[in-house]
Amino acid sequence: MERGGEQVPYFLVSKEGLPLDGSTPTLLYGYGGFEISLTPSYSAGIGAAWLEKGHAYVQANIRGGGEYGPRWHQAALKEKRSKAYEDFEAVARDLISRGVTSPAKLGCQGGSNGGLLTGNMLARPTAGSTLFGAIVCQVPLLDMRRFHKLLAGASWMGEYGDPDTDDWSFLQRYSPYHNLDEATAYPPILVTTSTRDDRVHPGHARKLVSKLLDLGKGPSTFYYENIEGGHGGAANNKQRAFMSTLAYSFLEQTLAGKNRGE
């Protein structure tokens, strides 16, 4: 698809014979930062937990990543960060306009910098419930006013900017914690983190969830904090399986309307 004259690729995976009537629960995944490339790969977990149920999975190659080299990464640095979020929204709209899915059936997922991405999909007025029926936000950055004072955050100022300078004028525009408001109807969100995350402080996730609760968004806000696991969110395969099951169960219930036992 195209966003502002820029071609933004994405990969769509589903069972053969996908109906183009907007009825398919679809999960959109992205990262868009630090020149990291998302390329197609085999995932037994996604296959068993999502695709085998007849759902669709989409991987977006938004700006900020490294899929097209340094230019692609630099296009979404610092004050240009919104380009990554605009690209992700554009992919979502393309999926909807093509009939692959609908806002009520479309979810998004991301972790770490991808958690900042999905946090923005919650907070941005051009996304939220207008594009998504559910959001999974994992080990996320969410408070861009203080990210550089927590754990490894200072090392990311080259990517985001320095909030103690005039950079705050653009950083605040993509700081999810600072852009929530009581009047907005937000889609259901699952926020997960680890008490022992040594890269992104769990305070980011805790603060966002606390603010959502203060704004009266409790019924649509879900939170899980694993006491182990570091930045990966899980310390062993059993915990990883649990965290994955937690996310897919949340998405199944919100996007496919299925509860346990159905």
CATH numbers and ranges of domains, the chain: 2-255 (3.40.50.1820)
CA distance 200 to 99: 37
Per-position pLDDT tens, the chain of length 262: 656 678 999 999 999 999 999 999 999 999 999 999 999 999 999 999 999 999 999 999 999 999 999 999 999 999 999 999 999 999 999 999 999 999 999 999 999 999 999 999 999 999 989 999 999 999 999 999 999 999 999 999 999 999 999 999 999 999 999 999 999 999 999 999 999 999 999 999 999 999 999 999 999 999 999 999 999 999 899 999 999 999 999 999 999 986 544 4
Cα 220 to chain center, whole Å?
Answer: 16
**Per-residue pLDDT reduced to its tens digit, 121-150:** 999 999 989 999 999 999 999 999 999 999
Residue with tokens 């004050």: 79
Dihedral sign (CA 120, 41, 251, 214)? negative
Catalytic positions: 112, 231
pTM of structure: 0.95
Distances (CA, A) of 155 to 50, 146, 201: 35, 13, 14
**Per-residue pLDDT reduced to its tens digit, 94-109:** 999 999 999 999 999 9
